[in-house]
Amino acid sequence: MKAVVLDAAGPEPALRDAEIPDPEPGPGEALLRVAACGFSHHDALIMEGALRRGVSLPRALGHEAAGVVCAVGEGVDANLIGMETAVIPGAIGHRRDGGFAEMLAAPADSLIPLPAGTDAADGAMLVSPTGVALKALETCGLTAGQTLVVTGVSGGVGGRAAQAARAIGARVIGITGSSEKARRLQDEPWLDAVLLDSEPWEEAVAALTGGQGADAALDATGTALGRLVVSLRRGGRVALVGQVERGAAPFAPAEAVFRELTITGSLGAERRHAERALQLTRSGLIPPFVHETLPLSAAAVAAAYRALKRRECVGRIILRP
């Protein structure tokens, strides 16, 4: 089968278009013909060499995959063949080949069945970033009528978190890195306000919340904890989801102490988050959030990497074999 293989990570990641053997579904596994795979920041971190834990190269990356079951291994119900499905990633795209390929093998119990005809990009984005965003919102205890601040709102996790927060009836303030992105996002019905990262948005959050501060914050960038802490009300909660840059994100502990804040990391998504994501997506409450769809090739993966690093994307880049 055709695959895009990462041979070496670094400032100039070594990618190639490759012909590799079709994966064999082992016992308890299913083989999928990949329909779509998101290019996530996780892929970018592996490509640049910032994320090495649990990664072995050479590897076909891509852990946000959806496809159709085309074969099953020993012990797996053959009726699954033909089913459209998303995948809870596990080792996919790190320790075993992922969705930047025509096919991938995955444990059958990691599949999330999709109704026939589900949009391939929505399927690819179902577990991560959408389920990941829903789990993080649960972590920060967001409820209807509350106000959430989201950083990296143009990105996969940040954007999906904003959409999901609106779907549950919250007010959403998004933080973004450029006025061009702010212009593109400001009319989105799932954002109440879009603020620029380069401006003193803590003051704007205070003004938008009548001086009280927001109820919750989700940091998809790992760069904003100090600013989020001073933007929250007493008893507020922060969910930390990622870190897009190396280095420390300073914050003043006293600000968290006086506000009695809860600051928690949130990792991955469970099946129930993916199933909730599917309900919200199918009901239209989580609308499409795709920057661009590209045919899979090493050149396309390299272009997606450059676009992420240059912070050009609003939504996910989707690769289709």
Ligand X SMILES: NC(=O)c1ccc[n+]([C@@H]2O[C@H](COP(=O)([O-])OP(=O)(O)OC[C@H]3O[C@@H](n4cnc5c(N)ncnc54)[C@H](OP(=O)(O)O)[C@@H]3O)[C@@H](O)[C@H]2O)c1
Binding residues (CB under 6 A) for ligand X: these are 40-42, 45, 128-129, 132, 152, 154-158, 176-177, 181, 197, 220-221, 223, 241-245, 266-268, 308, 311, 313
Smallest distance, ligand X to C-beta of residue 132, A: 4
Smallest distance, ligand X to C-beta of residue 298, A: 20
Nearest residue to ligand X, scored by beta-carbon proximity: 155
Structure tokens at 21: 């053997």
Asked if 59 and 24 touch (Cβ cutoff 8 Å), the reply is no
Asked if 132 and 41 touch (Cβ cutoff 8 Å), the reply is no
| 256 contact partners, CB below 8 Å, separation of at least 6 | 229, 263
Between residues 15 and 76, which has the closer beta carbon with respect to ligand X?
A: 15
Smallest distance, ligand X to C-beta of residue 218, A: 10
Considering only CA atoms, which of 110, 28, 10, 11 is closest in space to residue 66? Answer: 110
CA angle 122/308/166 to nearest 5° reads 45
Q: Where are the alpha helices (DSSP H) in 112-152?
A: 120-124, 132-139
Between residues 146 and 154, which has the closer beta carbon with respect to ligand X?
A: 154
Phi then psi for residue 193, to 5 deg, are -155, 145
Between residues 147 and 154, which has the closer beta carbon with respect to ligand X?
A: 154
Asked if 23 and 72 touch (Cβ cutoff 8 Å), the reply is no
Residues paired with 47 in a beta bridge = none
Between residues 77 and 179, which has the closer beta carbon with respect to ligand X?
A: 179
Smallest distance, ligand X to C-beta of residue 155, A: 2
Strand 2-8 and strand 14-19: the pairing is antiparallel
Smallest distance, ligand X to C-beta of residue 257, A: 25
Q: Which DSSP state fits 307?
A: H
Smallest distance, ligand X to C-beta of residue 94, A: 12
**Which stretches does DSSP call E strand in 59-206?**
64-72, 84-87, 103-107, 111-113, 147-150, 171-176, 193-196
Smallest distance, ligand X to C-beta of residue 224, A: 9
Asked if 42 and 62 touch (Cβ cutoff 8 Å), the reply is no
Smallest distance, ligand X to C-beta of residue 310, A: 8
